[in-house]
Amino acid sequence: MAAKITEKERHIFIENMFAKLENVTVESIVSSRIPLKHNGRHLLGLCPFHNDTHLGSFLVTPDRGIWKCFACGDGYAGNGIKFISLYDGIDYLQAAFKVALEKGIITYDEYSLYSQRQNYSESYIKKIAEKYDKEKKSSAKPLKMADIAIRHNVYHVIKDACQLSDQHMSQLKEERKLSDERINADYFTFPCLSWEKNNVIKKIREEYPEYTDEVLMTVPGFYYDRTKKKIAFYAVKGIGMLIHDVYGRVAAIQIRRDTIKEGQQRYIWFSSSFAPYEPDKYIGGTGCGSPRDILYPANTDRSILCITEGRFKSEVIRDFGNVTISLQGVGSQKGLDSDITEIMKELPIKSVFLMFDADSFGNTAVFLQLEKLICMLQEKFPSLKIRVVCWRKEYGKGIDDLYHNGKIKTVKYIESDLYVKTYRSVLSKILKSYETESLSDLKKLSLEEKKSFEDNLQQAEESIFLQ
């Protein structure tokens, strides 16, 4: 029996997953199944879909994000997910779930719930493939997202029209230790009751009468409800948080759910990405992607930029006087270099501290993305000193937990090249203990064996870095 997850929840989860999958390169996906060889701007391989014995017909083109077999012809081209779909003999959506699991974008539990325990219609899977398979000429074009100025204005109206409940105020002050200044600036109880939602729409109309239904339908979170014959927005009970871009503008809203059911994510985006898949019910609607969240301290003369994942981690780091960029997953790096460049125009940044969760020691997918991030930073910003911040998992999962548990002084700052070299050395030893030499061979392990591998790797890495 399928788990009780609503269609909206499934669509939002899938949309968020695909936003993160955009940061996974086509060559990394294809090379997880077949060997590739560099040849100029392309990579060559032996096509697995026909009896190929010579390089030349099967090409991967990284800068276009596609692969193609000229021998097989039409139908044998597309993005990385299309390749896995054909190679593994599964539909496009199941291939996306599989890639997301292998790249550490979703957890084993999420994969089980959303992939193995749900039923998706052929028409829905077809729409997903048409939207995301970039090789297709007739791909459905997503509704263009509203300009940042419109999003900034609308999202501020939502916040200003809402109050913080006593429960949420207590969570932010007592549990998260946020100041009144920070709470008043960015946090609110998300409006869910009908009268609250109507009040929000009314406030938007009053403050920005030029924002017609057609305009609001392009703001992530909003859509036109055909049944009710009016503009509406997605809502879930929780704490709303304004997410800022590098210029301080509000680019999105993130919601921390009050309660979660099995397989649900605690933090979700204010998004209406589900609406285009149900044209009989809704008009318009769009997702917000995976925007970075950038916080600046009130006053600072520090020359440190910190990169982490998660708003409440950013709040703690900001309180120490550091500029902080929160990624939506360590692999969400597209455009990050531009943000850093803009920050460096205004501040004398000399060092970058990478502060990801303590359990990342055991997650090879996170390590590979972290290594990629380090390489990008070294290439784009050679003058910056890059350090990876590490601590024991038992002291706290995130840097915010570590701080609130009084263990912040236990952190170790590891020079990035040393971190990568040491991590790979330990990883090699653990792989050999499982009678394998490469990460690609881990796909042969059962889920239980994979979890055991992660636990052993976590312990081994901690013993070396944190001795």
DSSP H helices, 103-142, are 108-111, 122-132
pLDDT at 134: 62
Residue pointed to by tokens 């205004």? 346
Distances (CA, A) of 34 to 101, 116, 367: 18, 26, 22
pLDDT at 444: 67
pLDDT at 136: 37
pTM for this structure? Answer: 0.75
**163-191: per-residue pLDDT in tens?**
999 999 999 999 999 999 999 999 999 99
pLDDT at 1: 41
- The amino acid at 211: Y
Alpha-carbon distance of 31 to 106, in angstroms, equals 20
**315-372: per-residue pLDDT in tens?**
999 999 999 999 987 878 889 999 999 999 999 999 999 999 998 899 887 898 899 9
pLDDT at 42: 82
- Within the chain, which residues score under 70 in pLDDT? 1-4, 41, 50-53, 71, 73-74, 134-142, 262-264, 440, 443-444, 447
The residues with which 58 forms a beta bridge, in sequence order, are: 45, 69
Alpha-carbon distance of 242 to 229, in angstroms, equals 29
- The amino acid at 361: F
pLDDT at 447: 66
The residues near 456 (Cβ < 8 Å, ≥ 6 apart) are 362, 430, 433
Please report the domains of the chain, with CATH numbers, ordered by start residue. Answer: 7-132 (3.90.580.10), 148-283 (3.90.980.10), 293-465 (3.40.50)
pLDDT at 5: 76
Contact 286, 305 (CB under 8 A): no
